[in-house]
């Protein structure tokens, strides 16, 4: 496997993504549970990043080590948060139309498997590079963007988690803290951190390797148009669509980017 990673990192990435997600899909399908779905997504990155880094032994740069560490840190933090949340809620409403529908469930897991591979494209390339890889101003800008997004995601997740688990807020939508300035600040942070991490790799991209920009593009498109914002907006509209305060919140609050309230 190590030889395959060092020689064909993109092929190795999809193989590992398939193995991890197939294992957890089997559990989810067999026990009709939502508890392992998000965990498998995060774990795929946590396993893949160090495997890519170490594929050619210990001949890697400090910068590559930092990128790997940030991916692992992001994956562990997100995986822990999502697992803690699902253990409390027991089920995820995103899977209400999939849990007992094998075709829908398989389609979702295939999408997740391919998404992991595509999002990791820049790092499948960058982490297996060997040679002169040193810090530069673009790298510093990229790390700054990543940390900004990471902090936004952590804060917004914590704020919503505390809000949802307060019985006094039952039947209410989240519009406090960062959620006052964006209806989906956690997704804004997620998109921002992946673009930031890609920026750190730009000085080392050559020729066709720039196609790895598909990584941050894919996560942006997924959250904006597929598995992120559309599902949550549809769910919120169903619950609160007749509430005038909620309608006002939607009209005056940015969909994604943190912005001041519209008048």
pTM of the full predicted structure? 0.92
Among 91, 106, 134, residue at a domain's last position: 134
- Count, in order, helices (H) and strands (E) of the chain: 11, 0
Specify whether 46 is located in the same domain as 12.
yes
Residue 143 lies inside a defined structural domain of this protein = no
CB atoms within 10 A of CB 148: 14
Write out the chain's pLDDT in tens, 263 residues. Answer: 555 555 678 888 899 889 989 998 898 888 888 888 888 899 999 999 999 998 867 788 999 999 999 999 999 999 999 989 888 887 777 777 777 777 888 888 999 999 999 999 999 999 999 888 888 999 999 999 999 999 999 999 999 999 999 999 988 999 999 999 999 999 999 999 999 999 999 999 988 889 999 999 999 999 999 988 998 999 899 999 899 999 999 999 999 999 999 87
Contact assessment for residue 256 and residue 187, using Cβ atoms and an 8 Å cutoff: yes
Specify whether 10 is located in the same domain as 127.
yes
Specify whether 5 is located in the same domain as 98.
yes
Specify whether 129 is located in the same domain as 153.
no
Specify whether 245 is located in the same domain as 129.
no
Contact assessment for residue 65 and residue 53, using Cβ atoms and an 8 Å cutoff: yes
Task: Return the structure tokens found at 106.
Answer: 């398989």
DSSP 253: S
Residue 79 lies inside a defined structural domain of this protein = yes
Specify whether 123 is located in the same domain as 205.
no
Residue 141 lies inside a defined structural domain of this protein = no
| Concatenated DSSP letters of 204-259 | G--GGGGGGGHHHHHHHHIIIIISSHHHHHHHHHHHHTT-HHHHHHHHHS-SSS--
Specify whether 14 is located in the same domain as 109.
yes
Specify whether 110 is located in the same domain as 11.
yes
Q: Which domain holds residue 219?
A: 149-263
Q: Rounded CA gap, 159 and 34, in Å?
A: 23
């Amino acid at each position: 496997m190590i030889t395959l990673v060092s020689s064909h990192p993109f092929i190795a990435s999809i193989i590992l993504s398939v193995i991890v997600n197939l294992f957890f899909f089997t559990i989810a399908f067999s026990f009709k549970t939502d508890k392992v779905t998000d965990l498998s997504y995060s774990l795929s990155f946590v396993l893949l990043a160090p495997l890519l880094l170490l594929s050619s032994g210990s001949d890697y740069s400090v910068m590559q080590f930092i990128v790997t560490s940030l991916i692992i840190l992001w994956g562990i933090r997100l995986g822990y948060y999502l697992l803690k949340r699902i253990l409390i809620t027991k089920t995820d409403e995103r899977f209400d139309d999939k849990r007992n529908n094998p075709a829908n469930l398989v389609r979702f897991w295939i999408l997740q498997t391919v998404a992991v591979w595509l999002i990791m494209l820049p790092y499948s390339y960058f982490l297996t590079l060997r040679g002169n890889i040193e810090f530069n101003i673009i790298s510093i800008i990229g790390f700054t963007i990543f940390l900004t997004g990471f902090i936004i995601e952590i804060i917004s997740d914590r704020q919503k988690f505390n809000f949802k688990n307060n019985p006094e807020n039952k039947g209410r939508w989240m519009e406090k803290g960062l959620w006052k300035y964006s209806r989906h600040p956690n997704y804004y942070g997620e998109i921002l951190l992946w673009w930031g991490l890609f920026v750190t790799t730009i000085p080392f991209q050559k020729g066709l390797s720039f196609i790895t920009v598909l990584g941050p593009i894919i996560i942006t498109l997924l959250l904006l148009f597929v598995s992120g914002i559309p599902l949550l907006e549809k769910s919120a509209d169903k619950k609160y669509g007749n509430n005038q305060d909620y309608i006002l919140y939607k009209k005056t609050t940015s969909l994604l980017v943190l912005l001041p309230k519209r008048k």
